[in-house]
Amino acid sequence: MSTIFDVFAMALLLSSLAIFVVRYMREEPPIMPYLLIALACGIGNWVGEAVDEFAGIVVLIIAAFLFLSCLIYPHVHRQRPDFYEVE
């Protein structure tokens, strides 16, 4: 049986995976935000079906906002100084 949590989590997971693959072909994107999205999709799906529906929706909405931040600002996570580079 397919619930709203299954549909929302899978749609978010597939769209973030597609964006990651496209960016991986062009450049080297940071992996951590996409891993957090995948983890939040799994946790949100499980919490929504097993524990509490409201908490599952909240976790999936947080994952959606993280996906939007990766979509709108793709290079924010890479703008840290490189401390290992000697001048």
Sign of CA dihedral 56, 58, 60, 66: negative
Domain boundaries in the chain?
A: 4-74
* Token digits of residue 61: 């909405």
pLDDT of 7 above 80: yes
What local confidence, expressed as pLDDT, does residue 84 receive?
58
Per DSSP, the residues of 38-75 read HHHHHHHHHIIIII-HHHHHHHHHHHHHHHHHHHH-TT
- pTM comes to 0.73
| Cβ-contact 71, 79 below 8 angstroms | no
What local confidence, expressed as pLDDT, does residue 86 receive?
57
Q: How far apart are CA 83 and CA 85, in angstroms?
A: 6
What local confidence, expressed as pLDDT, does residue 87 receive?
57
Give residue-wise pLDDT tens across range 38-83.
999 888 888 888 888 888 888 889 899 988 888 887 665 555 555 5
pLDDT of 21 above 80: yes
